[in-house]
Amino acid sequence: MSTTTVTPEPPHVLAVDDSIVDRAVISRLLRSSKYRVTTVDSGKRALEVLSLDGDNVHMIITDYCMPEMSGYELLKRVKESTELREIPVVLMSSENSPPRIRRCLEEGAEEFLIKPVRASDLSRLCSRLITTLR
Amino acid sequence: MRNLRLNSDSRRAARGDRAGALIRTGRILSRLGYLDEQFCQVEDLQDEASPNFAEEVATLFFKDSARLISNVEQALEKYPKDFNRWDAYMQQLKGSCSSIGASRMKSECMSFRDYCGQGNVEGCMRSFHKVKREHGALRQKLEAYFQLLRQAGPAGAATRPGM
């Protein structure tokens, strides 16, 4: 039987979304499930946070459609990095596009959630992922 | 129209005028389709630590959507027939509407995007006008709703209607 990794502090989730409304909702959703959350508005900022504090990020949840760097591009950058590739990455999108979903899963995304994201989506996801922390 | 947690209304309605006014506002907003289940999800995130979360999100939404509407407006003027650009801006607005449960407004955003897809300028202009109208109407209704909630006080918060 595998042991559940017990963290001394609540897991830390990095949420990436260019929409201020979505950042507010996703961060409240995560906080109400007792996770620590850092929100950023772009892939570029996400990579900055990860370069400084990647060891302390237990999951990344990112919007797909963002200007400059899409969530897919961020996913690729994370999975190409030796330091970051173990961090689970979840994509979110309001567009339900099977080719897009497939592409993300093939690139190593843990899951692809359709917006608006519900509390039930997140609690199911987080309990599955965060017990297998690196 | 889905029956969104209206079954305890009869109990709530017994609790007095303000609570009654609140319920009527909530039911009207829900029945008229201004807001959908997603708004309930947002309200459900309220707790002692964040008792005004729904109003905070609504405030963010109106500020942000005003900006996004202005982006579309400028694009319509400066980039005639640039349907891809118009669509991209409207997609952002539609996403925001979706996150707060603004269903009527979202539906008009989707019409606009359909017209972009068809290359129909007049259709885009007409639906954009409707987007703005729905935006104004929703703002008015939500402001009234939150005002009632504030007036009703903690008792009102306890009798907050499912929308």
Instruction: Indicate yes or no: CB of B57 within 8 angstroms of CB of A32.
Output: no
Q: What is the pLDDT of residue B163?
A: 47
B38-62 tens-digit pLDDT: 998 899 899 888 889 999 999 999 9
Instruction: Determine whether the interchain pair A94/B95 forms a contact, defined as Cβ–Cβ distance below 8 Å.
Output: yes
Q: Which of B99, B100, B135, B142 would you mutate first to test chain A, the one with the most A CBs within 10 A? A: B99
pLDDT at A1: 57
| Alpha carbon of A119: minimum distance to chain B alpha carbons (Å) | 8
Q: How much is the pLDDT for B71?
A: 96
Q: What is the pLDDT of residue B27?
A: 63
Q: Which residues of B touch A65 (CB under 8 A)?
A: 91, 95
Partners of A29 on chain B (C-beta within 8 Å) are 45
Contact call for B57 and A21, based on CB within 8 A: yes
Rounded CA gap, B38 and A55, in Å? 34
Q: Determine which helix (DSSP H) or strand (DSSP E) holds B59, and give its type and residue range.
A: helix B53-78
Mutation pick from A17, A18, A19, A42 vs chain B, by most beta carbons of B within 10 Å, is A19
Contact A32 B56 (CB under 8 A): no
pTM, rounded to two decimals: 0.83
In this structure, the number of other CB atoms found within 10 A of the CB of residue B24 comes to 14
Which portions of chain B are predicted below pLDDT 70?
A: 1-28, 31, 154-163
Of B44, B53, B64, the CB nearest to A21: B64
Which chain B residue has its CA at the smallest distance from A93's CA? Answer: B95
pLDDT value of residue B19: 63
Among B155, B58, B133, B100, smallest CA distance to A115 is for B100
pLDDT at B137: 95
Comparing C-alpha atoms, which of A104, A48, A49 is closest to residue A76? A104
DSSP bridge partners of A92 = A63, A113
- H or E element in which residue A15 lies: strand A12-16
Cα B104 to Cα B132: distance, rounded to the nearest angstrom: 11
| Predicted local distance difference test score (pLDDT) of residue A8 | 64
Chain A residue with Cα closest to B53 = A28
Interchain pair A94, B41: CB under 8 A? no
Mutation to test the B interface, candidates A26, A28, A33, most B Cβ within 10 Å: A28
Contacts of A134 (CB under 8 A, 6+ apart): A86, A87
Tell me what pLDDT residue B26 has: 62
Mean pLDDT across the stretch A4-31? 88
CB pair distance less than 8 Å for A116 and B101:
yes
**Model pLDDT for residues A81-116, shown as the tens digit of each residue:** 999 999 999 999 998 999 999 999 999 999 999 999
Contact B44 A119 (CB under 8 A): yes
What average pLDDT does the segment A47-65 reach?
96
A70 pLDDT more than 80? yes
Cβ-defined contact of B91 to A65 (cutoff 8 Å): yes
Q: Tell me the chain B residues in contact with residue A26 when contact means C-beta distances shorter than 8 Å.
A: none
Percent over 70 (pLDDT), chain A: 90
Q: Which of B6 and A38 is assigned the larger pLDDT?
A: A38
A chain contacts of residue B42, beta-carbon cutoff 8 Å: 25
Banded model confidence at residue A6, pLDDT cuts 50, 70, 90: low
Q: How confident is the model at residue A50 (pLDDT cuts 50, 70, 90)?
A: very high
